[in-house]
Each structure stands twice: as structure tokens, then as C-alpha cells.
Amino acid sequence: MTPPRRLAPRLTADTAPGVDESLGSTAETFAGRMQRRLKEQELKDLESRKSVQARHTLMLQAMTTIRKALVGTSRINLGERFSFDLEVNDWEGWPRVELNLVDACAPTRIEHALIITANDRKNLGTVQISTKSGETLARLHLEQQSEMEKLPLVLKKAVRHFLDLISGYILNPPSAQELLEEQSKSLGSTDFDCLDKELGEADLFHEDAPIGDRNTVDNLEDLAPLESLGSPLK
């Protein structure tokens, strides 16, 4: 005989008196607390964005001020051989200003330069002045407005120190011959010297001079296809 099927109890408002009121109070408390925290987080994010914007504005103002100030420095008369070249480029998304000392005897060789960079690592708003050799002359952290007021004096000291560094090089520069010899070494001077000696000893205008023999073949059978010498050229 099949036992009678039990019916699931019906949930009614009288099943657990007071539960609705208790859960409703808990939900309201949670919702209120969450709304306050979300509002606090929103205000905090807004203040952070304002702080970042203000800091970045100061950094751009500082770099613009430095660039304008160095325009006058770049016009200093350094004689016939030397001059300054002011270059503005990009570095990690921020302007980079370089005051390069250019030698007319080696215009592509820049050994001395004043380099100003900016970065916002650790939210510090850093503007750094250094030399090409890696010496740091000054560093400002523009997360505070008061740091911006130090810029004129800091820049003046850095530029003066840089000018003192290069004055000895300008007054006693390497000769053009020394620069040429150094450049030849970097390009492999041994090969050039040997070739120059060989051409100097050869009589290029004598009929018996073996000109062109090195690029000819006496027997065409000596030639082999490229495949036999290794993998084909692609």
C-alpha cells in the first residue's frame, strides 16, 4: 500500500513572526552604510583626480618655463667652433629639454648636454636636471605648490654649474685631427689604414698593375652554383 504523500508546508506571513522586520532593518542598515562609503570613495577619487591634474599642470608649467629660460642660454656666443643647440622632444610621455654643446668639427658627436626630464612616478611630479654624463644637478618634486617657487633659483644654479663644466672643454678642445683619429678607430681604423697603405704603394697607372684580376675567373668550370655552397639565399 502506497504511503500518503506529504505536502510541503506552505510559507505564510505567520510562519516566522518578526523575520521581515529584522531583515528589512539589516538591509536598510547595510544599504545606508554602503551608500556612505560609496560617496566617500567618490569624493576621494574626485580629490585624487584634482590633485593629479594640479600636479601635472605644475609639471608642464615648469618644463615650459625651463624651455623659455634656456632659449636665452642657447644664444650665448661660444666662438666660431662651438655653439648651443636647444632640442625639445618626448620622453615617457613628458617633454624632454636638451641644451646640447655642438662642436663644428664633429657636429654629430654630442658629449656635453644639459638634460631636463619630468616624470610622475609615485605621484611626486618630479622635474630633474642632469648632465649627459649622468650627474644630477637638481631635482624638484611638484606635488607641493611651494616647490614651484624654487624653480628659478634651482635652474640658475644648475645652468651655472653646467657652464662651468664645459668651459674647460671649450677653451681647450681636442684638435680636429684627434677627433678624426678617434672617429676612425670607432669605424675600424685598422682596415682603413691597411687599405690606404696598399693603395699608396701600388702603381695604379702602370700597364702591368694587376688591376681587376681579383674579380675575374680563369676557368668557368671553377664556378659552382650557390646551392652547392650551402643553403640558398632567400
Encode the chain (234 residues) as per-residue pLDDT tens digits: 566 666 655 655 555 556 667 777 778 888 888 888 888 888 877 787 889 999 999 999 999 999 999 999 999 999 999 999 999 999 888 999 999 999 998 898 899 999 999 999 999 999 999 999 999 999 999 988 899 999 999 999 999 999 999 999 999 998 878 777 776 776 654 444 444 544 455 554 444 444 444 444 444 344 344 344 344 434
Determine the 3-state secondary structure of 204 from DSSP: coil
pTM score, whole prediction = 0.63
Query: Which of these, 72, 69, 74, 134, lies nearest to 102 by C-alpha position?
Result: 74
Q: Which strands make up the sheet holding 82-91, listed edge to edge? A: 82-91, 94-103, 113-119, 126-131, 136-141
**What's residue 188's pLDDT?**
54
User: Which among 162, 165, 144 is positioned nearest to 62, based on CA atoms?
Assistant: 144
Chain centroid to CA 45: 29
**Cβ atoms of 111 and 132 closer than 8 Å:** yes
Identify the pLDDT of residue 89.
Answer: 93
Answer yes or no: are the C-beta atoms of 129 and 154 closer than 8 Å. yes
Q: How many CB atoms lie within 10 A of CB 169?
A: 14
Distance CA 151, CA 121 (A): 19
| Residue written as grid cell 505567520 | 14
Calpha distance 2→8 (Å, rounded): 18
Rounded to the nearest 5°, which phi and psi values hold at 149? -70, -20
pLDDT of 13: 52
Torsion of the alpha carbons at 6, 11, 17 and 23, rounded to the nearest 10? 130
